[in-house]
Amino acid sequence: MTTTDFSRNPENYCYRHPDRMSFALCQRCHRTICPECQTQAAVGVICPECLRDQQKSRTPAQKRAQRRWGRGGGRTAVMAGAAPVTNWILAITAGAFLLDLLLGFAGFSLQSWLLFYAPYVYPQLGGFEVWRLVTPLLAHDGPLHIALNLLSLWMLGRLLEPMLGTWRYLALYLISGLGGSVAVALLSFGTPVVGASSALFGMLGALLVIGRSLGGNVTGILILLGINLVVGFAFGGGISWQAHVGGVVAGLLVGWVFSTTRRQDQSRRQVILLCVVVAGLLALLAVPPLIYGF
């Protein structure tokens, strides 16, 4: 049996820093690169030279995306691939789930304070727990549920947050969650709901509108949305299709707002339109009392 002496093989050293050993290869040119020379790509990492070539070969739609989303953190994030809000949401959501598990040993349920249950929102029914309109995003029903949602959030967040910037991205996430809760109040009033699925569907809806406005091919997004919505409709089984539909609608609206207010001089209009979307969603909460007579 023989062993390999890595220290004597030049291929095990960064091509830009010959004194630094590394086993990471650029996904495009397959040269060895150290951590300092690595830039995260869609798959693996790439070297500085390939990064420059990639930026030069961007499609017109990609160049417009970087140029149009303005300051708000968007331009820097596109270059750096940063997604701080996504990381914080992942950490807080996972923390809430673990805390709920720990508190369960003491007979206390954090989930019961976070879930959305429409009757708890209305003063006429003895409640006014308005935080429940968005806190279901932090509550999940079991390890598989939270694992799938966090994985989806990580994948979508790394794509959308660098494009939109931190504040726009956070607004999209929360408004989509609000849309899901409002839809449940309208279409399934007495059903308790947990999970971040409404926000995830909203992110897909926004990505659909934004991608279309930039001239991109959104067929894949349409197929993904369609499959997930059909699964919710057809199989049920604890899946709140109402929240999914509400999230998509809210995401489409937010995506439209972002797509029509790209310029720096439209930032005030963007904020106003987002407030209008939120106000419209909240106004829809006046409908259930008219339907159910309370």
pTM reported for the whole predicted model = 0.75
Task: Note if 244 is an active site residue.
Answer: yes
pLDDT band at 76 (very low <50, low <70, confident <90, very high): very low
pLDDT at 224 over 80: yes
Average confidence score pLDDT of the chain: 85
pLDDT at 161 over 90: no
Lowest mean pLDDT among 58-62, 73-77, 115-119, 258-262: 73-77
Catalytic-labelled residue, pool 197, 198, 213, 240: 197
The span from the CA of 2 to the CA of 192, in Å, is: 62
pLDDT for res 217:
80
**Residues composing the chain:** 294
Q: Is the pLDDT of residue 2 over 70?
A: no
Number of H helices, E strands in the chain: 12, 2
Q: Which residue has the higher pLDDT, 241 or 56?
A: 241
Rounded to a whole number, what is the largest CA-CA distance in the chain?
82
Is 145 one of the annotated active-site residues of the chain? Answer: no
Catalytic site residue from 152, 181, 240, 244: 244
Mapping DSSP to helix (H, G, I), strand (E, B) and coil, where does residue 116 land?
strand
> Of residues 187 and 264, which shows the higher confidence score?
187
| Minimum mean pLDDT range among 93-97, 126-130, 184-188 | 126-130
